[in-house]
A and B are shown apart, each in its own frame.
Chain A
Protein backbone atom coordinates (compact mmCIF):
# COMPACT_ATOMS: atom_id res chain seq x y z
CA UNK A 1 0.00 0.00 0.00
CA UNK A 2 1.30 3.40 -0.99
CA UNK A 3 1.81 5.69 2.00
CA UNK A 4 2.98 9.28 2.14
CA UNK A 5 3.32 10.81 5.59
CA UNK A 6 4.12 14.49 5.99
CA UNK A 7 5.60 16.02 9.11
CA UNK A 8 7.29 19.20 10.27
CA UNK A 9 4.39 21.63 10.20
CA UNK A 10 3.63 24.03 13.01
CA UNK A 11 3.37 27.64 14.08
CA UNK A 12 6.13 30.00 12.92
CA UNK A 13 6.54 33.76 12.98
CA UNK A 14 6.67 35.82 9.78
CA UNK A 15 10.18 35.73 8.38
CA UNK A 16 10.89 32.40 10.02
CA UNK A 17 11.81 29.04 8.56
CA UNK A 18 10.41 25.54 8.62
CA UNK A 19 11.41 22.24 7.04
CA UNK A 20 8.73 19.80 5.97
CA UNK A 21 9.36 16.11 5.42
CA UNK A 22 7.43 13.44 3.57
CA UNK A 23 8.16 9.78 4.26
CA UNK A 24 7.22 7.43 1.43
CA UNK A 25 6.55 3.70 1.50
CA UNK A 26 4.80 1.04 -0.55
CA UNK A 27 6.30 2.01 -3.89
CA UNK A 28 9.68 2.54 -5.55
CA UNK A 29 10.16 6.12 -4.38
CA UNK A 30 13.34 6.64 -6.41
CA UNK A 31 11.46 6.08 -9.67
CA UNK A 32 8.91 8.83 -9.26
CA UNK A 33 8.84 12.60 -9.48
CA UNK A 34 7.29 14.20 -6.42
CA UNK A 35 5.35 17.38 -5.75
CA UNK A 36 4.36 19.65 -2.90
CA UNK A 37 0.85 21.10 -3.11
CA UNK A 38 -0.70 23.43 -0.52
CA UNK A 39 -4.18 24.47 0.47
CA UNK A 40 -4.85 27.62 2.45
CA UNK A 41 -7.70 27.36 4.98
CA UNK A 42 -11.01 27.28 3.13
CA UNK A 43 -9.29 27.77 -0.23
CA UNK A 44 -8.36 25.69 -3.24
CA UNK A 45 -5.28 23.70 -4.15
CA UNK A 46 -2.06 25.41 -5.21
CA UNK A 47 0.91 23.62 -6.75
CA UNK A 48 4.12 24.61 -4.93
CA UNK A 49 7.08 22.64 -6.28
CA UNK A 50 8.15 19.56 -8.19
CA UNK A 51 11.30 17.43 -8.23
CA UNK A 52 12.21 14.69 -10.67
CA UNK A 53 13.18 11.19 -9.57
CA UNK A 54 16.92 11.89 -9.64
CA UNK A 55 16.62 15.54 -8.57
CA UNK A 56 17.77 16.64 -12.01
CA UNK A 57 14.72 18.79 -12.62
CA UNK A 58 13.27 21.11 -10.01
CA UNK A 59 10.47 23.62 -10.48
CA UNK A 60 8.73 26.16 -8.26
CA UNK A 61 5.60 28.27 -8.34
CA UNK A 62 6.34 31.96 -8.70
CA UNK A 63 4.81 32.55 -5.27
CA UNK A 64 7.57 30.58 -3.52
CA UNK A 65 10.53 30.90 -5.88
CA UNK A 66 13.65 32.07 -4.05
CA UNK A 67 12.19 31.24 -0.63
CA UNK A 68 11.41 27.50 -0.76
CA UNK A 69 13.76 24.65 -1.66
CA UNK A 70 12.60 21.16 -2.56
CA UNK A 71 14.90 18.18 -2.15
CA UNK A 72 14.80 14.42 -1.77
CA UNK A 73 16.83 11.56 -0.37
CA UNK A 74 16.08 8.42 -2.32
CA UNK A 75 18.12 6.30 0.10
CA UNK A 76 15.75 7.39 2.87
CA UNK A 77 12.59 7.39 0.73
CA UNK A 78 12.02 10.96 1.81
CA UNK A 79 10.99 14.27 0.27
CA UNK A 80 11.66 17.66 1.86
CA UNK A 81 10.58 21.26 1.57
CA UNK A 82 12.75 23.92 3.19
CA UNK A 83 10.67 27.04 3.65
CA UNK A 84 12.41 30.34 4.44
CA UNK A 85 11.21 33.93 4.76
CA UNK A 86 7.74 32.68 5.54
CA UNK A 87 4.76 35.00 5.10
CA UNK A 88 1.22 34.98 6.41
CA UNK A 89 0.02 33.94 2.97
CA UNK A 90 2.08 30.73 3.22
CA UNK A 91 -0.33 29.50 5.89
CA UNK A 92 -1.77 26.28 4.52
CA UNK A 93 -1.95 22.53 4.72
CA UNK A 94 1.02 21.20 2.75
CA UNK A 95 0.60 17.90 0.92
CA UNK A 96 3.25 15.79 -0.74
CA UNK A 97 2.09 13.87 -3.79
CA UNK A 98 3.66 11.38 -6.16
CA UNK A 99 3.58 12.21 -9.84
CA UNK A 100 2.44 9.73 -12.49
CA UNK A 101 1.58 10.64 -16.08
CA UNK A 102 1.64 14.34 -15.10
CA UNK A 103 -1.02 13.74 -12.44
CA UNK A 104 -0.71 13.64 -8.67
CA UNK A 105 -1.49 9.99 -8.15
CA UNK A 106 -1.10 9.56 -4.39
CA UNK A 107 -1.31 12.14 -1.63
CA UNK A 108 -0.27 12.29 1.99
CA UNK A 109 -2.64 13.45 4.73
CA UNK A 110 -1.00 16.88 4.87
CA UNK A 111 0.75 18.95 7.52
CA UNK A 112 -0.47 22.37 8.66
CA UNK A 113 1.85 25.35 8.53
CA UNK A 114 0.66 28.49 10.30
CA UNK A 115 2.59 31.72 9.87
CA UNK A 116 1.54 34.22 12.50
CA UNK A 117 3.05 36.54 15.05
Chain B
Protein backbone atom coordinates (compact mmCIF):
# COMPACT_ATOMS: atom_id res chain seq x y z
CA UNK B 1 0.00 0.00 0.00
CA UNK B 2 2.50 2.64 -1.15
CA UNK B 3 1.31 6.22 -1.15
CA UNK B 4 0.54 7.97 -4.40
CA UNK B 5 3.06 10.62 -5.46
CA UNK B 6 2.07 14.29 -5.44
CA UNK B 7 4.23 17.42 -5.61
CA UNK B 8 4.79 18.85 -2.15
CA UNK B 9 3.73 22.32 -3.20
CA UNK B 10 2.34 24.37 -6.06
CA UNK B 11 1.55 28.04 -6.31
CA UNK B 12 -0.28 30.43 -8.55
CA UNK B 13 -1.63 33.94 -8.71
CA UNK B 14 -5.31 34.83 -8.47
CA UNK B 15 -7.08 34.16 -11.75
CA UNK B 16 -4.45 31.72 -12.99
CA UNK B 17 -4.83 27.96 -13.42
CA UNK B 18 -2.78 25.30 -11.69
CA UNK B 19 -2.57 21.54 -12.04
CA UNK B 20 -1.67 19.02 -9.34
CA UNK B 21 -0.47 15.61 -10.45
CA UNK B 22 -0.97 12.30 -8.68
CA UNK B 23 1.11 9.36 -9.84
CA UNK B 24 0.41 5.77 -8.91
CA UNK B 25 0.68 2.40 -10.57
CA UNK B 26 -1.39 0.10 -12.73
CA UNK B 27 -2.65 -1.45 -9.50
CA UNK B 28 -4.33 1.72 -8.30
CA UNK B 29 -4.65 4.92 -10.37
CA UNK B 30 -4.13 3.15 -13.69
CA UNK B 31 -6.30 0.19 -12.86
CA UNK B 32 -9.50 1.84 -11.68
CA UNK B 33 -11.51 4.94 -12.50
CA UNK B 34 -11.90 5.52 -8.79
CA UNK B 35 -9.59 8.48 -8.26
CA UNK B 36 -10.84 11.17 -5.90
CA UNK B 37 -9.49 14.53 -4.73
CA UNK B 38 -9.89 16.21 -1.35
CA UNK B 39 -9.36 19.78 -0.17
CA UNK B 40 -8.30 20.40 3.42
CA UNK B 41 -8.00 23.79 5.06
CA UNK B 42 -5.87 24.04 8.24
CA UNK B 43 -7.59 22.52 11.24
CA UNK B 44 -10.55 21.35 9.18
CA UNK B 45 -11.77 17.99 7.90
CA UNK B 46 -11.09 17.07 4.27
CA UNK B 47 -13.76 17.86 1.70
CA UNK B 48 -14.47 15.80 -1.40
CA UNK B 49 -13.85 17.84 -4.56
CA UNK B 50 -13.68 15.23 -7.34
CA UNK B 51 -14.74 11.57 -7.50
CA UNK B 52 -14.45 8.89 -10.17
CA UNK B 53 -11.59 10.81 -11.82
CA UNK B 54 -13.60 13.75 -13.11
CA UNK B 55 -16.98 14.04 -11.40
CA UNK B 56 -17.81 16.98 -9.15
CA UNK B 57 -20.11 16.55 -6.16
CA UNK B 58 -23.03 18.92 -5.91
CA UNK B 59 -21.90 22.29 -4.61
CA UNK B 60 -18.29 22.08 -5.77
CA UNK B 61 -17.28 24.90 -8.11
CA UNK B 62 -16.82 24.06 -11.77
CA UNK B 63 -13.41 25.71 -11.50
CA UNK B 64 -12.26 22.31 -10.21
CA UNK B 65 -11.75 19.55 -12.76
CA UNK B 66 -10.09 16.16 -12.82
CA UNK B 67 -8.57 13.89 -15.42
CA UNK B 68 -6.44 10.79 -15.76
CA UNK B 69 -3.90 9.43 -18.22
CA UNK B 70 -2.37 6.05 -17.57
CA UNK B 71 -1.08 5.90 -14.01
CA UNK B 72 -1.28 9.65 -13.42
CA UNK B 73 -4.33 11.63 -12.37
CA UNK B 74 -4.54 15.40 -12.31
CA UNK B 75 -6.56 18.08 -10.55
CA UNK B 76 -6.85 21.42 -12.29
CA UNK B 77 -8.10 24.54 -10.58
CA UNK B 78 -8.89 27.42 -12.90
CA UNK B 79 -9.48 31.04 -11.97
CA UNK B 80 -7.55 30.68 -8.73
CA UNK B 81 -9.08 32.39 -5.72
CA UNK B 82 -7.62 33.13 -2.32
CA UNK B 83 -10.00 30.63 -0.71
CA UNK B 84 -8.46 27.83 -2.79
CA UNK B 85 -5.31 27.99 -0.68
CA UNK B 86 -5.30 24.65 1.10
CA UNK B 87 -3.82 21.16 1.09
CA UNK B 88 -5.02 18.81 -1.63
CA UNK B 89 -4.94 15.03 -1.50
CA UNK B 90 -5.59 12.50 -4.21
CA UNK B 91 -6.82 9.01 -3.44
CA UNK B 92 -7.37 5.83 -5.39
CA UNK B 93 -9.26 2.64 -4.74
CA UNK B 94 -7.08 -0.42 -5.06
CA UNK B 95 -8.25 -3.96 -4.52
CA UNK B 96 -10.41 -3.49 -1.40
CA UNK B 97 -8.12 -0.79 -0.05
CA UNK B 98 -7.69 2.92 -0.51
CA UNK B 99 -4.42 4.75 -0.90
CA UNK B 100 -3.80 8.49 -0.54
CA UNK B 101 -1.18 10.77 -1.98
CA UNK B 102 1.18 12.61 0.31
CA UNK B 103 -0.64 15.89 -0.21
CA UNK B 104 0.09 19.12 -2.06
CA UNK B 105 0.10 22.53 -0.44
CA UNK B 106 -1.43 25.12 -2.77
CA UNK B 107 -0.34 28.69 -2.18
CA UNK B 108 -2.24 31.52 -3.82
CA UNK B 109 0.28 34.31 -4.26
Name A's B-contacting residues (CB within 8 A). 35, 37, 44-47, 50, 57, 59, 61-62, 95, 100-110
Contact = CB atoms under 8 A, between A and B. Distances in A.
In the complex, the 9 A-B pairs of residues with the closest C-beta atoms, listed nearest first: A103-B51, A103-B36, A102-B34, A47-B98, A107-B45, A44-B103, A102-B93, A45-B100, A59-B96
Nearest to A59: B96
Nearest to A100: B51
A61 B46 contact: no
Contact of A102 (B1, B36, B100, B101): B36
Interface string B34-68: 10101010000111100110010100000000000
A106 B51 CA distance: 12
A47 B36 CA distance: 13
Contacts of B99: 47
Given A44-B101, A44-B102, A44-B103, A102 B96 contact: no
